[in-house]
Structure 1
Amino acid sequence: MDAIDIDVDSLHRGADHLEQAKESVRSGFEGFQAAVQGYSNAFGGDDIGTLLGVAHQACVEAAIECFSTNLVELENYVDSLHGMAEEYQVIEERTTSIFKNILGSLGG
């Protein structure tokens, strides 16, 4: 079995980069929401305008749901990466302590 080398700092950096990406998506999403509000009454009040307005609203709601869900998932990934890094750090420290105790017991 191959050894697994976990770089805790890399996990934290990866989580930080993912956090930055999430914030970039959030910023774009907020810009999208602001832009979309300007189109809410752009279709007129006749039959075709009403149909276009309803279709537009349905598309906007679907996009908002998609962005919102993705932002929540990105946040979960960020939290998970930080959690994994912290868990690996604790395990590494405990393992080091155990081996130091064993070495001390052997007189080393």
Structure 2
Amino acid sequence: MGFGELGFDSPAIDRAGGRIQLSANDLKAKVDAFNTELQSYGQPWGSDDVGMLIGMCYQAIYEIAMECFQENIAELSEYGNSVRVMAATYRESEDLSAIEVNRVRDILG
């Protein structure tokens, strides 16, 4: 690539997007395993008045945390998808540029 030229490695960008999506899937699996472990403990704080207050606080925190995890995983996966779309767009642009350059070359002889 010469001075002033701009190039993209579309396959590398596509692989990076795939790895981002894989990371999102791995994170989802870890959150699911963590959630399963949490559920296995039941309600260890008891059922008296203090235990009920602890349980209410725990439930609120748990729901917020799980919602944050799920939203972040979905965003991460979407970023990976967007990177893959970007790679496809670069690849299409390069292909179209090559066609146009060849067309001009054919016209000029």
Q: Same fold (TM over 0.5)?
A: yes
Counterpart residue identity of residue 75, structure 1:
S
Aligned pairs, how many?
A: 107
Once residues 62 and 3 of structure 1 are traced to their aligned partners in structure 2, the CA distance between those partners, rounded to angstroms, is 48
Aligned to 2:67: 65
Q: Say whether residues 1:95 and 2:97 are aligned partners.
A: yes
Do the aligned partners of 1:36 and 1:60 also contact (CA within 8 Å) in 2? no
Counterpart residue identity of residue 45, structure 2:
F
Q: 1:39, CA displacement in angstroms? A: 3.3
Query: 1:6 aligns to what SS in structure 2?
Result: coil
User: 12, 15, 25: which one pairs with 1:13?
Assistant: 15
Once residues 3 and 63 of structure 1 are traced to their aligned partners in structure 2, the CA distance between those partners, rounded to angstroms, is 47
CA deviations on 1:51-91 (whole Å, 9 max, x unpaired) are 11011111111110111001110111111011001111111
Q: Decide which moves more: 35-44 or 51-60.
A: 35-44
Once residues 11 and 88 of structure 1 are traced to their aligned partners in structure 2, the CA distance between those partners, rounded to angstroms, is 9
Q: Decide which moves more: 11-20 or 36-45.
A: 36-45
Identity fraction in percent: 27
Aligned to 1:52: 54
Structure 2: runs of 5 or more not aligned: none
Provide the aligned C-alpha RMSD in A.
1.5
Q: 1:33, CA displacement in angstroms? A: 1.1
Taking structure 1 as the reference length, the TM-score comes to: 0.91
CA deviations on 1:10-33 (whole Å, 9 max, x unpaired) are 111101211221111011110111
Once residues 55 and 27 of structure 1 are traced to their aligned partners in structure 2, the CA distance between those partners, rounded to angstroms, is 26
